[in-house]
Amino acid sequence: MPPPPESSPRIVEMFTDGACESNPGRGGWATLLRWDKREKMLSGGFARTTNNRMELTAVIEGLKALQRPGLKVRVVSDSKYVTEPVTQRWLEKWAAKQFRKAGGLRDNADLWIELRRLLALHDVTFEWIKGHAGHPENENCDELAVLARAQPNLPRDEGYEAPANAAVTNGLSLL
């Protein structure tokens, strides 16, 4: 998707969803990016993962697709797991504790680290919507995420299978 002109006050809208066949199980994610009258759909999946990882991945992949920093982005998601840590400022508290909690690393630390890095590149707001409630873009993303998880030969989700290794790869020191 081409970036908006430098002087454009327009907002990139991002609609996201994740889906898992069982949890954990085959998972898919989908993102719809909209700017002006242009739209771009993205999707993918993993052979074994969780629904929460797919919800996070949808937002991460959408942000990674933006071609330049400093954009105003409105993320619309049906996942409170994704929206509340940002809107309630928990993500920064988790980062201050290096994504550790009692008993070890926070679930999906690798993805939270990556999301935090990408959020720093843009002016991002999050909006939660009720899932499976007829929201056209959310329904579209849900359908695409379900199709993505059904694809043959899905890759492994290294972050799910080896979370500590993935967290180190994303910059968290475990020493």
Tens digit of each residue's pLDDT (9 = 90 or more) over 115-145: 999 999 999 999 999 998 999 999 999 999 9
pTM: 0.90
Q: What's the CA gap between 150 and 85, in Å, rounded?
A: 29
Whether the pLDDT of residue 167 is over 70: the answer is no
The predicted model gives 20-43 an average pLDDT of 96
Q: What is the pLDDT of residue 170?
A: 67
* Start-to-end Cα distance in the chain: 40
55 has binding-site annotation: yes
Residue in the block written with tokens 């939270």: 112
* CATH numbers and ranges of domains, the chain: 12-169 (3.30.420.10)
123 has binding-site annotation: no
39 has binding-site annotation: no
Q: What is the DSSP string of 18-83?
A: EEESSSSEEEEEEEEEEETTEEEEEEEEEEEE-HHHHHHHHHHHHHHH-SSSS-EEEEEES-HHHH
- The residues carrying an active-site annotation are 17-18, 55, 78, 132, 142
CA nearest neighbour of 35 among 12, 5, 14: 12
Q: What is the pLDDT of residue 4?
A: 47
78 has binding-site annotation: yes
